[in-house]
Structure 1
Amino acid sequence: MRTTLAALQMCSGTDPHRNAEAMERLVRAAAAKGAHYVQTPEMTGALQRDRAALRAALKPEEEDVIVATARQLSAELGLYVHIGSTAIARPDGKIANRGFLFGPDGARLSHYDKIHMFDVDLDNGESWRESAAYTPGETARLVDLPFGRMGFAICYDVRFPELFKAQAQAGAEIMTLPAAFTRQTGEAHWGVLLRARAIENGMFVIAAAQGGVHEDGRETYGHSMIIDPWGRVLAEAGDAGEEIILAEIDRADVAAVRGKIPNLKNGRSFALDAPQARAKDDAA
């Protein structure tokens, strides 16, 4: 069964209500183009570097405008709406970088809290400490949809192939990777990493991205992508601004690729003969 999926590229600002309006406009446009599933980028609700302002705007899930808008749109339009992520106030007073998937009846089918925190020091003084604001997730999740078993990841998660492999071995045929990649890292690694994760696991990868210069001063790379299990880029957006990309997928393509290259089945355990281990053996 061939199904049309859409990834929405956005340039979210600091106001969740304005971002919700932009998201609604893009979701409606994607539905009009025939999409059955629509994914938004990481931090759809707001990109806000000012932590005090971020906390002041936070809402719990049941009061969040992005969550409410997505739920309403999915039910009205009869499609799957996947909020790549948005900042959510947790009951313990901490913040989650959380994605949501809503079904065609408006029901929440799954959610995912970003596991890996982007704590890095890049060239030219660019530095990020996500762990200073967000609590990392601890659970990878899969959901069965009519067009395939779907797994979840967010942005920096793409650099941890074990997360993708574990979900592929559990039957995932589609991996989602909404992101807000920095321009510096995106130019170097974004497309390569996405294609690698698709090829390694013989799965579709859907990656809606933020793109452009944002109100809070950061610049994101854009280039939202949909990639097939052979590593072919089926659709790609530009580097900045709003854009809708669409592609048809068929889960049969996953079976075909994994049949040709069954690396998920062919993997073997092995011992590691490292210098430190040898030294301990010699001492014994």
Structure 2
Amino acid sequence: MEPVSKAMAQFRLALIQLRVSSVKSDNLNRAGEFIKEAASQGAKIIALPECFNSPYGTNYFPEYAETIPGESTKRLSDLAKEYQVYLVGGSIPEEDGGKFYNTCTVFGPDGTLLTKHRKLHLFDIDVPGRIRFQESETLSAGDSFSMFETPYCKVGVGICYDIRFAELAQVYSQRGCQLLVYPGAFNLTTGPAHWELLQRGRAVDNQLFVATASPARDVDAPYVAWGHKNALTKLSPFFCNGSFCRGEILPKLALKESIVYANIDLKKLVEVRQQIPVLTQKRGDLYAVEWKKP
């Protein structure tokens, strides 16, 4: 990794935890208000949660789906340009050629679309007595990596279930990303078990920053999100979770609509990679083998 210039060594990241309703226009308006607030507090990169403009559910995806560009992405582009920020637009249901995708768009400070990430790994799980969810009933999977450059660092994008697949984060790390952003909507079964654990794992294994943005918890929604958006601003087990150490996020704030800020210091990333150089010590000659489905 190249040395980080002093001018660009630090920046402020904002993660918006939005309460998502069934009214798309309300969701877009509230997202705009939170983006305005985050920008006023100095955030340079701002992220929204998964499915920020619609309820999360296989029956909702076709109903709320838009083409890109469309209503929601036009609004995101305008907001990024108005507030001069890099905006990771959570995700929306996208329609393209008769297929539906769970898609994250990213816009630069001039309103330009920088990348479009279609969720690579569809959330198809069955936990008897707890939860069954099959995104593949309506969605198709994406097939490409998604990264974008900023003056501060290179950023890789995944959506929710993508975070469970360590290989994706490894590829992003190998391609020079220093921050990974995962808009997500873990639920009340998977959330308490794995939400923070997976973020820590991706951060420690790849020695980079990991940020997640979740919808706020709504117990009346058909799909209840775990909440607890995070910014892992420390990179190893002997450092604490930055979002919980900065004055301690209270349990109620971890569930409700809110913004969490993280001041990212890229010098710390350089220091950790120098102190424990796992990225240069990997034995690809031993374990870089073709993976086969069981």
TM-score, with length taken from structure 2: 0.87
Matched, 1:220 2:225: yes
Q: 1:229 to 1:169 in 2, by over 3 A?
A: farther
Matched, 1:190 2:179: no
**Which residue identity does 1:248 align to in structure 2?**
N
Q: 1:122 to 1:11 in 2, by over 3 A?
A: farther
Partner of 1:58: 65
Note if contact 2:99-2:140 (Cα within 8 Å) is conserved in structure 1. Answer: yes
Q: Which one has a bigger Cα radius of gyration?
A: 1
Partner of 2:91: 85
Q: CA deviation at 1:252?
A: 2.1
**Which residue identity does 1:171 align to in structure 2?**
G
In structure 1, C-alpha distance between the alignment counterparts of 2:281 and 2:58, rounded to whole Å: 48
Provide the identity percentage.
27
SS in 2 for 1:128: strand
Q: CA deviation at 1:50?
A: 5.7
Matched, 1:117 2:122: yes
Partner of 2:266: 251
Partner of 1:277: none
| Structure 1 segment 252-267 matched on structure 2, within 5 A | 252-267=267-282
Q: CA deviation at 1:66?
A: 2.1
SS in 2 for 1:84: coil
SS in 2 for 1:61: coil
In structure 2, C-alpha distance between the alignment counterparts of 1:96 and 1:266, rounded to whole Å: 38
Q: CA deviation at 1:182?
A: 0.6
Please, which of 115, 131, 140 is the counterpart of residue 135 of structure 1?
Answer: 140
In structure 2, C-alpha distance between the alignment counterparts of 1:99 and 1:261, rounded to whole Å: 33
Note if contact 1:11-1:214 (Cα within 8 Å) is conserved in structure 2. Answer: no
In structure 1, C-alpha distance between the alignment counterparts of 2:157 and 2:120, rounded to whole Å: 10
Q: CA deviation at 1:216?
A: 4.0
| Structure 1 segment 1-284 matched on structure 2, within 5 A | 1-49=9-57, 51=59, 53-63=60-70, 65-90=71-96, 92-213=97-218, 216-231=221-236, 232-236=240-244, 238-268=253-283, 269-270=285-286
Note if contact 1:10-1:210 (Cα within 8 Å) is conserved in structure 2. Answer: yes
Q: CA deviation at 1:239?
A: 3.6
Q: 1:54 to 1:97 in 2, by over 3 A?
A: closer
Q: CA deviation at 1:144?
A: 1.6
In structure 1, C-alpha distance between the alignment counterparts of 2:91 and 2:122, rounded to whole Å: 14
Q: Deviations over 1:140-178 (max 9, x none)?
A: 122221110111111111111011011101111000111
Q: CA deviation at 1:229?
A: 4.5
Q: CA deviation at 1:54?
A: 3.5
SS in 2 for 1:18: helix
Q: CA deviation at 1:214?
A: 5.9
In structure 2, C-alpha distance between the alignment counterparts of 1:72 and 1:82, rounded to whole Å: 13
**Which residue identity does 1:265 align to in structure 2?**
T
Q: Deviations over 1:219-267 (max 9, x none)?
A: 1111100112424322256342211000111222222111111212211
Greater mean deviation of Cα atoms: 205-214 or 191-200: 205-214
The number of equivalent residue pairs is 269
Note if contact 1:36-1:80 (Cα within 8 Å) is conserved in structure 2. Answer: yes
Note if contact 2:154-2:179 (Cα within 8 Å) is conserved in structure 1. Answer: yes
TM-score, with length taken from structure 1: 0.90
Alpha-carbon RMSD across the aligned residues, in angstroms, is 1.7
In structure 2, C-alpha distance between the alignment counterparts of 1:71 and 1:30, rounded to whole Å: 16
**Which residue identity does 2:38 align to in structure 1?**
A
Note if contact 2:233-2:243 (Cα within 8 Å) is conserved in structure 1. Answer: no
Note if contact 2:61-2:138 (Cα within 8 Å) is conserved in structure 1. Answer: no
Q: Which runs of 5+ in 1 are unaligned?
A: 273-284
Q: 1:219 to 1:271 in 2, by over 3 A?
A: closer
In structure 1, C-alpha distance between the alignment counterparts of 2:159 and 2:268, rounded to whole Å: 24
Note if contact 1:89-1:96 (Cα within 8 Å) is conserved in structure 2. Answer: yes
In structure 1, C-alpha distance between the alignment counterparts of 2:149 and 2:164, rounded to whole Å: 25
The runs of 4+ residues in structure 1 deviating greater than 3 Å are 236-239
